[in-house]
Amino acid sequence: LTVDRGISWGSAEARLAAAGEGQGGFYRSQREMYGRRMFILALRKLGTQDRYLIYRPNTGVSYFEEDEGFLRGKYEAVPPPEAREGWQDQYARALDTCLHGPDCRSGPTRAVG
């Protein structure tokens, strides 16, 4: 059994293109988490000026919207070519490894992350 919880690079690129110019972009965490930088896709929510839907390669769309302050405080904007490798790595690792790493106490039974 395989569960698809994340979002592939191709799907993320397609969502960004569909959103249109200036409506979002890829971001890389300013700090490392568990030895790696994390990547997100932030897309402006329709009808708002500073609310964003957040997509992660390992978990897909977030249940929570974020504002520009959140993005600027924790992430730095990066062009798609700079985000690609990290995004693909994060997505691939989510298939069989918890985001917290191989020593996570939840181990293979973890449902999210």
**27, part of any domain:** yes
In this prediction, residue 14 has a pLDDT band, given cuts at 50, 70 and 90, of very high
Provide the pLDDT for residue 110.
47
Q: Write out pLDDT tens, residues 71-113.
A: 999 999 999 999 999 999 999 988 766 555 556 555 555 444 4
Between CA 98 and CA 96 the distance in angstroms is 7
Count other C-beta atoms under 10 Å from residue 80's C-beta: 15
Range of the domain at 60: 9-109
Q: Write out pLDDT tens, residues 30-49.
A: 999 888 999 999 999 999 98
Between CA 69 and CA 73 the distance in angstroms is 6
**1, part of any domain:** no
Between CA 48 and CA 77 the distance in angstroms is 20
Between CA 52 and CA 65 the distance in angstroms is 5
**76, part of any domain:** yes
**103, part of any domain:** yes
Total structural domains in the chain?
1
